[in-house]
Chains A and B, each alone.
Chain A
Amino acid sequence: MSDWILGSKSGEFAIKRYTIIRNVILVWMTLVLLGAFLLDIPRIVILEHTARNLYFHVPMWFTMMAAGIVSAYHSVRVLASGDPVRDVRASEAARLAIFFGILGLLTGMMWARFTWYLGTGLWWNFDPKQSMAAVQVLIYGGYFVLRSTIDDPRKRSRIAAVYNLFAFATLPFLLYVLPRQMESLHPGAEGNPAFSEITHPIMRVVFYPAVIGFIGLFWILYTQRVRERLLRKKLEYQPEM
């Protein structure tokens, strides 16, 4: 196992590096939250204060994309090396891709219900982006269904890796390409730029750091879960402990 360090010097360095990056991310996210509420934004009809959801809802999808990239990268490495640690990393990243995807769907439903769908009572309107995102979450769900059907760890890691590459291949199309070909509530529909000129510059000051912060949060949760899985793996190899 390539990144399995037993009390070595580089292991001590790795934990220090992890702690530093983690603390930077947590402070960073706190500043993002402060900026998201404290910085004044122009009040627009229909949107009003919910425009601030840009800082929270949209980064969910960037984070899902990042998680998909990490997952696909490790799936490639699984196929290249057969390393079981790569399989752990690929599956935990995919799990968090689903997690952030579901959060993105729920926050989008909440946002749309009380702005554009006001008075209609609609929580789900089959907006193209909404539907495609739900399909993408289900495709990642299929990854775990597939995993649960194979008992042999080696076979499971390789077959799941191939499926995961398919799941990653559909991600940019379902999240970015197809919704833009259709009429949608989301900016970027019908070939418009995703960030319109009417978006106030102050919102970019919070939005981009929020994307980085949420991806950082994904990384913390992902690293914790990988460590937990590796500990369990280790204990399985030494049942007397």
Chain B
Amino acid sequence: MIIHPIQDTLQGAAPDSIQASTSVPAQGADGLERVMLADDKLFVVLAVVLIIWAGIVFFIWRTDRRLRNLERTVGSGIPDETI
């Protein structure tokens, strides 16, 4: 396994052949790109986290629906006490 040393390549040479053969447009970023690339691309991470969070919220909601349907079938209710 080749472990490459960590280098800042923001100003220097391209770190690999793919990046060397791809021309990264430095200018002309549209509105979305301007937002996402700001602050060392931190907002890309935020977008990823929000996608995961949306999935978790969906799952919690689905589980609640399943529980509710089961409780109706069995003829029981949600516990009266909240905690």
* Consensus secondary structure, chain A interface: helix
A-B contact count (CB 8 A): 92
| Category for how many chain A residues contact B | 35 or more
B24 within 8 A of A: no
Instruction: Report yes or no: B74 in contact with A21, Cβ–Cβ below 8 A.
Output: no
Q: How far is the CA of A30 from the CA of B83 in the complex (A)?
A: 23
Which A residues are closer than 8 A to B by beta carbons?
A: 2-8, 10-12, 14-15, 17-19, 21-22, 26, 29-30, 33-34, 37-38, 40, 49, 70, 73, 85, 219-221, 223-224, 226-228, 230-231, 234-235, 238, 241
Q: 0/1 per residue, B47-83, Cβ < 8 Å to A? A: 0011001000100100110011011001111111111
Q: How far is the CA of A15 from the CA of B64 in the complex (A)?
A: 10
Closest to A12 in B: B77
Instruction: Report yes or no: B74 in contact with A15, Cβ–Cβ below 8 A.
Output: no
Q: A10-B80, A15-B78, A18-B82 are in contact. List 20 more A-B contacts (CB 8 A).
A: A2-B81, A3-B79, A7-B75, A7-B76, A8-B77, A14-B79, A15-B77, A29-B53, A30-B53, A33-B53, A34-B46, A40-B39, A85-B79, A223-B79, A227-B78, A230-B79, A231-B67, A231-B70, A231-B76, A238-B74
| Category for how many chain B residues contact A | 20 to 34
B42 within 8 A of A: yes
Instruction: Report yes or no: B64 in contact with A22, Cβ–Cβ below 8 A.
Output: yes
* Contact (A6, B75) CB under 8 Å given A21-B82, A30-B53, A37-B46: yes
* Contact (A70, B67) CB under 8 Å given A5-B77, A22-B60: no
- The distance from the CB of A54 to the nearest CB of chain B, in whole angstroms, is 16
